[in-house]
Amino acid sequence: MANVSNGLPYLENQEYILITTLSVGLGCTFLCLNCVLLYTLRSKPVFRETSRYILLYNLLFADTAHLALSLLLYILAVGRLKLTMSVCGLLTMFSIYVDSISPLTLAVMSVERYVAVCFPLRHADLVTIRNTGAAIAAVWTVCSLNIVIRVLILVVWRPDYEFNEKMKDFCSKEALFLTPMTKHFDEAYSGFVFLFGGLAILFSYVGVTLVARSASSDKASVRKAGKTVLLHFFQLVLILTFTLNSIILTAFARQLDRKTLVRLYNIIFLCLNLFPRCLSALIYGLRDQTLRPALLNNICCQLRCLVGPNKTKFRRRT
pLDDT tens-place string over residues 241-268: 766 666 666 666 667 666 677 677 777 7
* Mean local confidence (pLDDT), 229-238: 78
| β-sheet bridge partners, residue 166 | 84
* Average pLDDT across the chain, whole number: 77
Rounded CA separation 279/294 (Å): 18
| First and final C-alpha spacing in the chain | 44
Rounded CA separation 318/316 (Å): 7
Q: Give residue-wise pLDDT tens across range 72-121.
A: 888 887 777 778 878 888 888 898 898 889 888 988 988 888 888 888 88
pLDDT of the residue at 7: 43
The domains found in the chain, sorted by start residue, are 2-287 (1.20.1070.10)
